Structure 1
Amino acid sequence: MKKANGTGLVPTFKSWMEDFWGADNVFADDFFRLRKNWMPAVNIKDEKNSFEIDLAAPGLKKDDFTVKVENGMLCISAEKEESKEEAEADYTRKEFSYRSFERSFALPENVDAEHISAKYADGILKLVLKKLVTKAETPKKIKVG
């Protein structure tokens, strides 16, 4: 007696579909491209005069992003919704895709929240957070009396 798809003697509906179509991910979210929430990778660099944040978000446009500072937090979010329709003589196929994310970062005390810049190019959202300029204190001699 042969096992169906290595799962047991009685095949499940999923294993039957995989055997029929030869697709391992028919029921995965990626198969239908319905990723509601995803989290882009982030790199943060601490430079001498600024912090640089690189957020990998390919396939978006600069208008898809919202970047704001609120209550000492830097909030970055994006939403993208697409639909595609293909009509032939005897059928119509519609596909929908929706992606969104939101990331928040606590701003360090030495960040100038008024001077944050953002630029999107080649799938990377780059933010530059300027550090506050602090004057180096000169030593003050105190006379002991």
Structure 2
Amino acid sequence: MSNLVNVPKSGSLSNSNLNQNFPTLSNWLDDIFNRDLPSVFTSNFNTGITLPKVNIKETADAFIVEMAVPGLKKSDFHIDIDNQVLSISTKSKVENEQKEENYTRREFGYASFKRTFTLPESVNDDKINANYNDGILSIELPKKEEAKQKPIRSIKIS
């Protein structure tokens, strides 16, 4: 029973086992491009920092976006909203120079990222708040009044 062949509606048969052990060019390319890339390709070459992970949660009154980005200052962040698209980005430059009697050592590095999110129309973009505390950037996206979840109420049957 393992040698069953699907017969198309046209009634013609094709040998589906032909060169089964040899991948086609299409399968080979799909395999290459669908693999996870090594971290060297997905990280920032200068610092090894990858794109920060984001948690998004919904409450009855708002959406909360939390991003773990330790080691930065509030002034490093740029948060913009344009046409219902929230953009969170940062650019930082670190320079360190150490001079000793016989040598000078100078190191520098750059780090940046940008994350964008399309906001639902239920967000009241006039009341968006953000704060940065202990390496966590937290953005509160309050819902419009009509979009807020109303408490459960009982309806009396007359």
TM-score of the superposed pair, with normalisation by structure 1: 0.68
Aligned ranges 1:56-71 → 2 under 5 Å: 56-71=68-83
Q: What are the within-5 Å matches in structure 2 for residues 104-143 of structure 1?
A: 104-134=116-146
**Unaligned stretches of 5+ residues in structure 1:** 1-27, 137-145
Q: CA deviation at 1:37?
A: 6.7
Equivalent position to 1:78, from 83, 86, 90: 90
Question: What is the letter of the counterpart of residue 129 of structure 1?
Answer: L
Shift of 1:36: 7.8
Paired position in structure 1 for 2:10: none
Q: C-alpha distance in 2, partners of 1:113/1:38?
A: 28
Structure 2: tracts of 5 or more residues without a match: 1-39, 151-158
Supply the AA of the counterpart residue of 1:44: I
1:52-96 alpha-carbon deviations (Å, 9 max, x no partner) = 010110000000000010021000001111100011111100010
Q: Give CA deviations for 1:23-45 in whole Å, capped at 9, x if unaligned.
A: xxxxx79xxx7138731110000
Does the 8 Å contact 1:38/1:100 carry over to 2?
Answer: no
Tell me how far apart the structure 1 counterparts of residues 87 and 48 of structure 2 sit (CA, whole Å).
18
Aligned equivalents of 2:53 and 2:105: distance in 1?
Answer: 33
- Name the counterpart of 2:56: 44
Cα distance per residue 1:92-145 (max 9 Å; x no partner): 000102110000000001000111000001000000000001188xxxxxxxxx
Q: Aligned AA for 2:102?
A: D
Range moving further from structure 2, 109-118 or 36-45: 36-45
Q: Is the 8 A contact 1:36 1:100 kept in 2?
A: no
- What is the alpha-carbon distance in structure 1 between the residues aligned to residue 50 and residue 82 of structure 2? 22
Kept in 2, the 8 Å contact 1:37–1:101? The answer is: no
Distance in 2, matches of 1:103 and 1:85, equals 32
SS at match of 1:128: strand
**Identical positions, percent:** 41
Counting matched residue pairs gives 106
TM value normalised by structure 2? 0.63
Taking the aligned partners of 2:90 and 2:48, their CA distance within structure 1 comes to 11
Does the CA contact (< 8 Å) of 1:34 and 1:99 recur in 2?
yes
